[in-house]
Amino acid sequence: MNTKSDSKNVLVLNSGSSSVKYTLFDLSLNRIAKGSVERIGSAEAFIVTDTREVCNVPDHNTAVELVLNKLFSNVIKDKNDIVAIGHRVVHGGEKLTLPSVVTEEIKDEIRKCFNLAPLHNPHNLSGILACEKLLPGISNIAVFDTAFYQTIPQYAYLYALPYYLYKKHNIRRYGFHGISHQFVAEKTAELLNEPLNKLKLITCHLGNGCSITATKYGAPVDTSMGFTPLEGLIMGTRCGDMDPTIVSFISTSENMSLNDVNKLLTSQSGLYGISGISNDMRTLTEESEKGNERAKIAIEMFCYRVKKYIGSYSAALNGADAIVFTAGIGENSPTVRQKCIEKLDKIGIEFDASLNKETRQGLISKKDSPVKALVVPTNEELMIAKQVITLTNN
């Protein structure tokens, strides 16, 4: 069946370490197609569109080629119907603070941030390089996860290290998941029927990576991820906040290089490290219900850390208007949401357990709670497409 559209489109790509996710939008931001190539580089690689097909996908270039073949055979008539391709890029450093048409200089800046986001930036750039090769002449636009945080004040983004280290190496808090927090903040304002520039929000992005952001009148004032996406909340395999001395202590006592300790903190820690079972909240919830003590403590620690940040950001904002949950865990786990915000009535959150069980989008606090709590599904791809269209219109 030929379902090719006559419309002009924006393609959004999110290239991760072993996957390339894509979404095609028309210029009115209607979603035309969506899918992913997963397990790139493994013998079990596959592409998901309406169906799932096993494929040979040795690298990101092949993954993007597969995506384009699918789109051109099913959805897009001509390459010139793609107005631009938007790419999620995790770390833009101090220089890349706005969505940018990709040039050689922009690619160099993305490369300079490789060591700050080694799990993300190299793969984000691979997606861009593949598009340049496969669709010459079509604009690639990089949208940065760090860009949303430009308004965070210096007292919140500096670390208490010798100041020259900030000047010399740009060691500071950058913040991540900005595309998601921005989308969710805007959507929350819409759901509460209040202008964003009148709201103080605490948005909790709880997925495999987790972060929490305080936004005052539309501008972020603090966020939990820092110089890299390792700081802050407990995540699937990342440790989040801890005493920095532990790094050299582990290095000495376990006879590990600093590089290996970094890997341990990034990919062997968090929910996975504590439970020893899984980084997946679904598995941990099931195991905890069966009585597994380590799964139980992992969930307790995860939720307690979120609760502490909600408290500190409530203070930073002098009271929030709403606490918002998003991403895989935030959108799908009533159990986690309940543990994060029940018994916070003294700071104004009147939790509603039955709304929390049912709601897919909207309130999970009592209607007249002084501080509202909500679930808001994130849509990073839509936010990227919006920013690409704004840039190309300009």
Active site positions, annotated: 145
Shortest Å, Cβ 146 to ligand AMP: 18
Q: How many CB atoms lie within 10 A of CB 196?
A: 18
Radius of gyration of the chain (CA): 21
Candidate segments 63-71, 75-83, 241-249, 278-286, binder of ligand AMP by CB under 6 A: 278-286
Shortest Å, Cβ 207 to ligand AMP: 3
Q: Identify the residue among 9, 332, 356, 379 touching ligand AMP (CB under 6 A).
A: 332
Beta-strand pair 210-216/219-223: antiparallel
Tokens of residue 88, six digits: 């999620």
Shortest Å, Cβ 53 to ligand AMP: 22
Shortest Å, Cβ 138 to ligand AMP: 28
- Return the residue nearest ligand AMP (CB atom): 328
Q: How many CB atoms lie within 10 A of CB 53?
A: 12
Shortest Å, Cβ 264 to ligand AMP: 20
How far out from the chain centre does Cα 161 lie?
A: 27
Cα–Cα distance measured from residue 314 to residue 43, given in angstroms and rounded to the nearest whole number = 48
CB-nearer residue toward ligand AMP: 127 or 207: 207
Tokens of residue 211, six digits: 């972060």
Residue 197-216 contact track with ligand AMP, rule CB under 6 A, x = bound? ----------xx--------
- Residues 6 or more apart whose CB falls under 8 angstroms from that of 380 comprise 14, 88, 179, 180, 183
CB-nearer residue toward ligand AMP: 116 or 234: 234
Beta-strand pair 322-326/200-206: parallel
Would you count residue 285 as binding ligand AMP (CB under 6 A)? yes
Between helices 293-316 and 334-341, what is the axis angle to 10°? 50
CB-nearer residue toward ligand AMP: 215 or 378: 378
- Residues 6 or more apart whose CB falls under 8 angstroms from that of 194 comprise 321
Cα–Cα distance measured from residue 351 to residue 119, given in angstroms and rounded to the nearest whole number = 36
CB-nearer residue toward ligand AMP: 93 or 232: 232
CB-nearer residue toward ligand AMP: 127 or 236: 236
Q: Which residues between 333 and 392 bind ligand AMP (CB under 6 A)?
A: 333
Cα–Cα distance measured from residue 384 to residue 371, given in angstroms and rounded to the nearest whole number = 30
Closest CA to 83 of 140, 2, 13: 140
Shortest Å, Cβ 294 to ligand AMP: 16
Q: Identify the residue among 236, 240, 270, 273 touching ligand AMP (CB under 6 A).
A: 236
* Total site size for ligand AMP, rule CB under 6 A: 12
Question: By the criterion CB under 6 A, which residues form the site for ligand AMP?
Answer: 207-208, 236, 280-282, 285, 327-329, 332-333
